[in-house]
Amino acid sequence: MSNGAALRLGDRGDKVRQLQAALAKAGFECVADGVFGPGTEHAVKAAQKARHLTPDGIAGPLTRKALAPKASAARTDGHDLTSRGAAFIGHFEGFSGKLYNDPVGHCTIGFGHLVHRGPINGSEPADLRGGISKERALELLREDAKEAADAIDRLVDVNLEPHQRDALISFTYNLGTGAFGSSTLLKMLNQGHYDAVPEQLNRWTKASGRVLPGLVARRKAEGALFSRGNYVA
């Protein structure tokens, strides 16, 4: 282990393992074996480049600090979809308090919560068979949106206000994490161009090559939520 604060090629020990865990948590492929080898050096360089630091492969204080927000041991509720954000998404998803089969034949309830694949067959949990309240449906929606929330935490490098996070979660929940991860929207946001987000959102209004009024309305509402904190869908 080097005597200084920086970690570099050849170092070993718990601090290296912690660094590796932070890199992996941040989405940079790295094995937490406690050995700072070429793989770890490559991951450090990638992380430094992503966070606009000198990509020298040496994990000094600045690099480790930049990774710290991404290395949290557990996500907090503050990074999840808020209750107001759930209500915002719910407006566009539509609500059913009773079990139903979605357009592709899967058992569903609430705001599009998948109960199981395939149609209703009597095997559904007892607490769902009798129907659910809108409040319970919103809880399920927040749980379903965790994948989108996790993607925001993993991919966005700039600070976000809760309403901005909610807007991006709505977009990602609707379009998928892959679409968000490869979008120009994400690239521009990570460059600090917050004001470009509403315009970029408005580019995603098509399905099967056709502009859909429902998507136009949703993207406009997400842009207003991101830029002004307007939760009125």
- Looking at the structure, tell me whether residues 36 and 88 fall in a common domain: no
- Looking at the structure, tell me whether residues 33 and 67 fall in a common domain: yes
Instruction: State the CATH number of the domain containing residue 99.
Output: 1.10.530.40
The token pair that represents 80 in the structure block: 């999840």
Predicted TM-score (pTM) of the model is 0.66
Residue 23 lies in a domain: yes
Q: Name the residue with tokens 């998404």.
A: 89
Segment 27-51 mean pLDDT: 90
The amino acid at 105:
G
Q: What is the per-residue pLDDT across 62-110, written as a single tens digit (0 to 9) for each?
A: 788 888 754 333 333 457 899 999 999 999 999 999 999 999 999 999 9
150 Cβ neighbours under 8 A, 6+ residues apart: 75
Residue 79 lies in a domain: no
- Looking at the structure, tell me whether residues 154 and 139 fall in a common domain: no
- Looking at the structure, tell me whether residues 138 and 170 fall in a common domain: no
Q: Specify the range with the lowest mean pLDDT, choosing from 23-37, 103-117, 178-192.
A: 23-37
Residue 113 lies in a domain: yes
- Looking at the structure, tell me whether residues 152 and 220 fall in a common domain: yes
Residue 165 lies in a domain: yes
223 Cβ neighbours under 8 A, 6+ residues apart: 167, 197, 198, 199, 201, 202
Domain boundary among 71, 92, 109: 71
- Looking at the structure, tell me whether residues 193 and 177 fall in a common domain: yes
Q: What are phi and psi of 108, to 5 degrees?
A: -140, 160
Domain boundary among 128, 144, 160: 144
Residue 47 lies in a domain: yes
- Looking at the structure, tell me whether residues 178 and 219 fall in a common domain: yes
Domain boundary among 45, 71, 97: 71
The token pair that represents 116 in the structure block: 């199981």
Segment 112-124 mean pLDDT: 95
Q: What percent of the chain is modeled with pLDDT above 70?
A: 93
Q: What is the dihedral of CA 113, 208, 203, 165, to 10 degrees?
A: 10
Segment 214-231 mean pLDDT: 96
- Looking at the structure, tell me whether residues 125 and 199 fall in a common domain: no
Active site residue 93: yes
Segment 172-194 mean pLDDT: 95
CB atoms inside a 10 Å sphere around CB 1: 12
Q: What is the per-residue pLDDT across 6-25, written as a single tens digit (0 to 9) for each?
A: 899 999 998 999 899 889 88
List, as one string, the DSSP characters of 149-195.
HHHHHHH--S---HHHHHHHHHHHHHH-HHHHHT-HHHHHHHTT-GG
- Looking at the structure, tell me whether residues 52 and 121 fall in a common domain: no
- Per the residue annotation, which of 29, 41, 93, 147 is the catalytic one? 93
- Looking at the structure, tell me whether residues 206 and 165 fall in a common domain: yes
- Looking at the structure, tell me whether residues 92 and 47 fall in a common domain: no
Residue 2 lies in a domain: no
- Looking at the structure, tell me whether residues 149 and 132 fall in a common domain: no
pLDDT at site 232: 84
Q: Which domain holds residue 126?
A: 84-144
Query: What is the tally of structural domains in the chain?
Result: 3
Residue 127 lies in a domain: yes
